[in-house]
Amino acid sequence: MYYDVTIAGFGGQGIMAIGNILAEAAMREGKNVTYWPSYSAEMRGGTANCTVVISTNEIGSPVVAFPISAIIMNLPSLKKYQSRIRKDGLLIVNTSLIDQGEIQRDDVDIVKAPLISLAREAGNDRLSNMVALGIFLAKTQVVRLDSLFETFRIVLDERYHHLIPSNKKAIQRGIDFVTKLT
């Protein structure tokens, strides 16, 4: 098994949190993992992206030029990464911030999701990243949901532990969104 994902948006959207949680969950399952974060000069509001590679075999490099999938949270990231996704891959697009007309691919599985609205329905519109993670998990099943949930106390700073139930609810909202699409 081998799977990789690029996650991109602007600082403050929880891009690195998604990558950290996903990588930690895969490690808990005994899989090999690389996590490659990249920040712009400005943290909050600047561009941020990370790539996570999950494999049952050794991983040769954390660098992925053409990912199998991408979670795209803003328009500059869509413009940068959508052409790189492999044919028949997966593209998750935050249509709360990206006009659907900007999506130029027809050879990948595209999930167009109003992530901010879905997060609001789950109780906190700042958890759109967790909704995206739920969508990703529902589409790929690269890790188990229980593994993902077990990572929160490790990955999230202790001052955010009171938000773990709402994070779980947002992930479930993403899963439910995919279920309703099928």
In tens, the pLDDT along 30-85 reads 999 999 998 765 555 567 999 999 999 999 988 999 999 999 999 999 999 999 99
Q: Which residue has the higher pLDDT, 98 or 182?
A: 98
Q: What is the pLDDT of residues 108-165, one digit of tens each?
A: 999 999 999 999 999 999 999 999 999 999 999 999 999 999 999 999 889 999 999 9
The closest of 77, 73, 76, 69 to 136, measured between CA atoms, is: 69
Amino acid, single-letter form, for residue 174: G
Per-residue 3-state assignment (H helix, E strand, C coil) for 130-165: HHHHHHHHHHHCCCCHHHHHHCHHHHCCHHHHHHHH
User: How much is the pLDDT for 143?
Assistant: 98
How far is the C-alpha of 74 from the C-alpha of 99, rounded, in Å? 10
Per CATH, the number for 2-181 is 3.40.920.10
Q: How confident is the model at residue 182 (pLDDT cuts 50, 70, 90)?
A: confident
d(CA 124, CA 121): 7
Task: Give the mean pLDDT of 18-29.
Answer: 97
Question: Does pLDDT of 17 surpass 80?
Answer: yes
The model's pTM is: 0.94
What b/e sequence results for 102-123 when a residue is b if at least 16 CB atoms lie within 10 Å of its CB, and e otherwise? ebeeeebebbebbbbebbbbbe
